[in-house]
């Protein structure tokens, strides 16, 4: 139960930070000339992205909307069984990122389920992204590390026959 609460705290904090920074960017960055920081290493410039990361498949906005909903449902279903801090943080970050970009797709123009995500941060010549994108990336990296380290998402118990059984 403790890990489930951690997952939801991470998800709520990541989602809030994403939405707050997008609200600020919509006022301060969008419609203005790009702003360069750290000697040009970081640029703040607004870009409405209807596709996935790097503007991949810009006409598939509805597909990405449905995919985000599926991800949120799956994480919600497994949340009560999480027994690892790493998995809780990783899945919480993925939930925050998917939820943040889903909120854009639902509430931003041109309309419900077809809205464009507001991307506004660029490092060097990289693609333009937002905090939700970084939450998904960091969460996926943590989940991969947990997987490669052999840390199960759920507790593993040993039955009387010596077989490994996942706890429900």
The vertex-128 CA angle with 124 and 133, nearest 5°, equals 120
Dihedral (C-alpha) 22, 60, 79, 11: value to the nearest 10 degrees?
A: -10
Residue with tokens 């509430």: 107
As annotated, the active-site residues are: 119, 133
Residue-wise over 64-76: b if at least 16 C-beta within 10 A, else e? bbeebbebbeebe
The two tokens of residue 16 are: 């809030």
Neighbours of 153 (CB within 10 A): 20
Residues 164 and 150: their CA atoms lie apart, in Å, by: 13
């Amino acid at each position: 139960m403790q890990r489930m609460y951690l997952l939801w705290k991470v998800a709520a904090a990541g989602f809030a930070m994403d939405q707050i920074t997008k609200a600020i960017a919509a006022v301060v960055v969008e419609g203005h000339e790009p702003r360069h920081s750290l000697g040009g290493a970081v640029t703040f410039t607004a870009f409405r992205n209807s596709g996935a990361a790097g503007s991949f498949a810009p006409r598939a906005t509805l597909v990405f909307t449905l995919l985000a909903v599926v991800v949120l449902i799956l994480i919600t279903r497994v949340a009560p069984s999480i027994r690892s801090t790493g998995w809780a943080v990783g899945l919480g970050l993925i939930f925050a990122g998917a939820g943040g970009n889903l909120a854009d797709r639902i509430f931003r123009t041109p309309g419900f389920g077809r809205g464009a995500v507001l991307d506004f941060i660029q490092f060097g010549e990289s693609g333009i992204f937002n905090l939700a994108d970084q939450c998904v990336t960091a969460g996926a990296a943590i989940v991969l590390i947990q997987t490669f380290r052999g840390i199960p998402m759920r507790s593993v118990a040993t039955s009387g026959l010596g077989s490994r059984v996942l706890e429900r």
